[in-house]
Amino acid sequence: MNSSVHITFLGGLGEIGRNCAAIEVDGRVVLLDCGQLFPYKHPGVDSILPDFKWLLEGDKNVEACIVSHPHEDHIGGIPHLFRHLSVPIYGSPFTLGMIKAKLESHEVELPPFVAVKDNETHAVGPFECEFLPVTHSTSGGLMTVFRTPQGVILHSSDFKLDPTPVDGRLTDLNRVSDISKKEGIRLLLADSTNAESEGVSLSESEIGPLIEDVFLDNEGRRIIIGTFSSHIHRIQQIADAATKTDRKLAILGPSMIRNVALARELGLLKLSDEILLNEKELKKFRSNKVCIICTGSQAEPRAAISMMSVGKHPLVEIGENDTVIFSSAPIPGNEASIFRVHNNLARLGAHIIHSGKLKIHTTGHGKAGELLALHEASNPELFIPVHGEYTHLLGHEKIALSRGMDQSKVLRCVDGDSVRLDEHGLRLEGRVSDEYLMVDVRGVEVSKDLVKERVSLGGEGFILVRVVIDKNKRKLLERPFATTLGWVEIEDKDEYLNEVIQEVEKVLDVAIAEGEFDQKELTRLVRRATGKFVDLTTGRRPMLVPLVEIN
């Protein structure tokens, strides 16, 4: 009997972000992606990662990590994990280049890198893995074909079926159907992000001419265009539009500068030195003949566009002669900050163009029609939808069923689920932690309790009450002290705090008279008296900090 294969989903199922799965045979593990989720309501947290405890503890033998492509939801967890682990990382040269820069900036020792070319096969841990090209909103995305003792497992990576990709590198669906016919595909794991959108996505190469039109419409104005720094095909099309409309190009923002250099070095981005302006030239050059490509299309706080929008960019001052283009769609959760940046730029006189107004962006994730085509080509025996919010996973399940797949062949999984694939099929065999591992910018872990405290402080403020009790004289040594921040308006503070003090005195006088000198009990009484008053008068729930000293 062949060994069973076990897949544990550490993240990415039921959320967009922190994609990470462990594929295991006889205790030998290959990690598939290691991403982060961007914090959305977690003050002081810079990155939310999968809980790696299960992976690092026990007798797991992690032998390698395959990275499908260099988006943060697939690579963002690597610096943290690779402080505890050093195994070869497999990926395309562009993916590895971005990971290398990331590890260096976090001062993490570099593990061995194995650069993978399209359609190559490598022995990775206990598996033979074949890597197929996919089109996506970054360069060098790879689908992985895992040959396992239980047949072929196909992981789609984030993908779309772009018939006319900018670099001519097509998603290799032909090879998928070839493998399906010759070997059969036992299990498909596929991207669900756009499962609920009907039809097919717009080709990336259709965006280029639209950008060029915008450039022509804005002749005589300086153009500032924001996009993702890893979206090399978009950057290529922007550069082409600039060249065609006789503009010079300036690249701003550290990640944009780094990724453009990497892509040029790898031959993924064709950009001649003649059209590039350096920082000094950018200041001198007639501004209506300039196109600036930069970061900040998601209103990231320290990115170039965000700095420009508040007049703090050292090289670019926004004025009435500027057109600012957002060539990206807002990532859910970022909308409010993006609108704030739009408004700030508009106040400075800039003309704003975004994907809600004009079609200057297309998704990197296949829609329902493209997902169906992958199911047709792979014709899998079994299916687990991955990479998506729960509703996306359900939408993808429907697509699988729509072509006659039996419900029993689809396994609905979420973060933390561990599944077993053997001769009898696929089944859920257990659960591991799906807790958030939250870390700050230094990579230091932030506990759930600390985040809860920060949320409470940020939302409601705090009240501190300090009392000193003289045990011998059986009375309060002095009038209690109280202070607050964030609870009531500054001008009302004294009045409210006076009343808090009176309430606390009342309660303590009675308790002390009855001979109560237990610090814990007295602290509880101060907290209760304060809380009751706060609730009654203001209905708020500030953090209460009672301090009781007994002399």
Binding stretches for Zn ion (CB under 5 A): 71, 73, 158
Residues 304-319 as b or e (16 or more Cβ within 10 Å = b): bbbbbbeeebeebebe
Query: Between residues 24 and 158, which has the closer beta carbon with respect to Zn ion?
Result: 158
Query: Between residues 196 and 505, which has the closer beta carbon with respect to Zn ion?
Result: 196
Query: Between residues 73 and 204, which has the closer beta carbon with respect to Zn ion?
Result: 73
Query: Between residues 158 and 417, which has the closer beta carbon with respect to Zn ion?
Result: 158
Quote the least distance from Cβ 141 to Zn ion, whole Å. 7
Q: For residue 296, report the phi and psi dihedrals to the nearest 5 degrees.
A: 115, 5
DSSP 435: -
- Among the listed residues 376, 306, 317, the one whose alpha carbon sits nearest the alpha carbon of residue 342: 306
DSSP 311: T
Report residue 524 as tokens: 């509880």
- Among the listed residues 188, 156, 199, 203, the one whose alpha carbon sits nearest the alpha carbon of residue 369: 199
Alpha-carbon gap, residue 217 to 53, rounded angstroms: 55
Type of residue numbered 342: H
Query: Between residues 222 and 231, which has the closer beta carbon with respect to Zn ion?
Result: 231
- Among the listed residues 108, 42, 35, 31, the one whose alpha carbon sits nearest the alpha carbon of residue 72: 35
Quote the least distance from Cβ 71 to Zn ion, whole Å. 4
User: Max Cα separation, the chain?
Assistant: 92
Quote the least distance from Cβ 444 to Zn ion, whole Å. 26
Type of residue numbered 136: H
DSSP 517: -
Tokens 């009907």 locate to 198
* Reduced 3-state DSSP string for 160-184: ECCCCCCCCCCCCHHHHHHHHHHCC
Quote the least distance from Cβ 191 to Zn ion, whole Å. 7
* Reduced 3-state DSSP string for 96-140: HHHHHHHHHHCCCCCCCEEECCCCCEEEECCEEEEEEECECCCCC
What is the distance, to the nearest Å, from the Cα of residue 387 to the centroid of all Cα atoms in its chain? 12
Quote the least distance from Cβ 364 to Zn ion, whole Å. 6
Alpha-carbon gap, residue 158 to 135, rounded angstroms: 8
Query: Between residues 35 and 380, which has the closer beta carbon with respect to Zn ion?
Result: 35
Query: Between residues 192 and 530, which has the closer beta carbon with respect to Zn ion?
Result: 192
Query: Between residues 138 and 306, which has the closer beta carbon with respect to Zn ion?
Result: 138
Query: Between residues 158 and 212, which has the closer beta carbon with respect to Zn ion?
Result: 158
CB 173 within 8 A of CB 373: yes
Quote the least distance from Cβ 158 to Zn ion, whole Å. 3
Quote the least distance from Cβ 15 to Zn ion, whole Å. 11
Quote the least distance from Cβ 272 to Zn ion, whole Å. 29
Quote the least distance from Cβ 456 to Zn ion, whole Å. 32
